Homo-oligomer: A and B are copies of this chain.
Amino acid sequence: MNYRFPEKVNWNARNLILEVAEKGRTIPGFISLAMGNPAEEAIPVELIRACAAEVLAEDPIGLLQYGPMAGDADLLRWVKDRMVHGKGCAAEGNQGILLSGSGKGLGLMPRTMCQEGDEVYCDAFCFLNTPASVRNVGAIPVGIPSDDQGMIPEALEERAKSGKGKYIYLIPNFHNPMGITIPLERRKELYEVAAKYDLLIYEDDPYGDIRFAGEPVPSFKSMDTDGRVVYAGSFSKTLSAGLRVGFLYAPDGLIRKFAAVKSADGQEPMLNQRIISRCLSKLDFNEYLKSISQIYGRKCALMAESLRQHCSPRCRVLVPEGGLFIWVEMPADVDMDAVNDAVIDAGVGVVRSAAFAVDESEPGHAFRLNFSALPDDKIARGAEIFGRVTRQFCDKI
């Protein structure tokens, strides 16, 4: 039969990241710098295994039977404590909600806030799932240009004048894909635009705890005097991506509505939340973050050094202060598809900016390179091969 899908789900973006992975599978010894996986050596396997055994031994029925819709109360308390005492956010008027990965929040936000035709403002190069989740409800993701400090407030304001905007989506720390951290002053300016145009801010912070250089910048949530900011936190980069545990911390009035919308989907798995909660109870979390951030810092430095050595001097290598990605800007006169194919043919996978372009007609001139997923030698080698290819294309012009 002919399925009568509604207009809103009849969009088909190419997933250029998956295409790189597909091509790579056919090339022996392929080095993929295309994914966003955390470093394996930063996953506390033994701790998680021990905690899983403990919680399953102590209260099996509590984990294997239906449980409270709100999820694990201990983890919710931890979230509140962390947001208030660890990140300087207001306790009053805000609360957490636990999700199967903070990625679930990406979908929950537009499902709860948007109707067809509403606009959502995000970076012109943005984490893929964000525009996807916005399109899925018939709303419109609008890409806003950025400079080295992140989204440009004037450009945001220009688009927000439409009056159709519901929220701004931002990754303020170690942006995916660009690696940028938004400085405090810029955050204040963006918050002001949000206030002026009655926009919420969705502050997605999956990488914020992985800082290996520079100083932490106050979160949007910590400057939220209006009840405007939804903060999304994750344990995927700090404890385990596969367990799928994340949270939102947001004003009571929003959390209540999120919970109402979400409740029709049923509850989330308690086992996963309680494993995370037990791990946290056994860790000095700040010390733990320091130790895993060192791993990421070492890998980032390795890649940055290799890129500095081997890339064309016409490339601009943006080294982040944390997170998982280095962004390499190419000269505007280079054929990005040709470079991309040549890099793959040379046995390395990277992701061209087009993969992240909210507006397909503005594919950009940059590559995202991941430095977290592979062992050190492959990171250096992959970056070297990538660098040599850039020389072929940039220096001969």
Contact = CB atoms under 8 A, between A and B. Distances in A.
Contacts of A35: 66
Contacts of A228: 1
Among A37, A60, A114, max chain B CB count under 10 A is at A60
Given A4-B113, A104-B266, 13 more contacts: A1-B226, A3-B113, A3-B200, A9-B257, A40-B61, A49-B56, A65-B240, A104-B265, A107-B264, A115-B138, A116-B116, A130-B264, A132-B263
Contacts of A266: 100-101, 103-104, 106, 129, 244
Interface string A248-287: 0000011001001101111111111000000000000000
A227 B344 CA distance: 40
Nearest to A8: B115
A130 B241 CA distance: 30
A352 interface: no
A115, A138, A166, A236 — most chain B CB neighbours (10 Å): A115
A111 B112 CA distance: 12
A301 interface: no
Contacts of A113: 3-6
- Going nearest first, the 8 A-B pairs with the smallest beta carbon separation are A103-B266, A6-B115, A132-B264, A133-B264, A64-B240, A244-B269, A64-B242, A107-B265
A interface bracket (residues with beta carbon within 8 Å of B): 35 or more
Contacts of A62: 242
Q: How many copies does the complex hold?
A: 2
A243 B114 CA distance: 31
A333 interface: no
Interface string A233-247: 000100011111000
B65 A1 contact: no
B53 A65 contact: no
Contacts of A192: none
A16 interface: no
Nearest to A133: B264
Interface string A37-50: 11010010100110
Contact of A64 (B45, B53, B64, B257): B45
Contacts of A88: none
A269 to B, nearest CB: 4
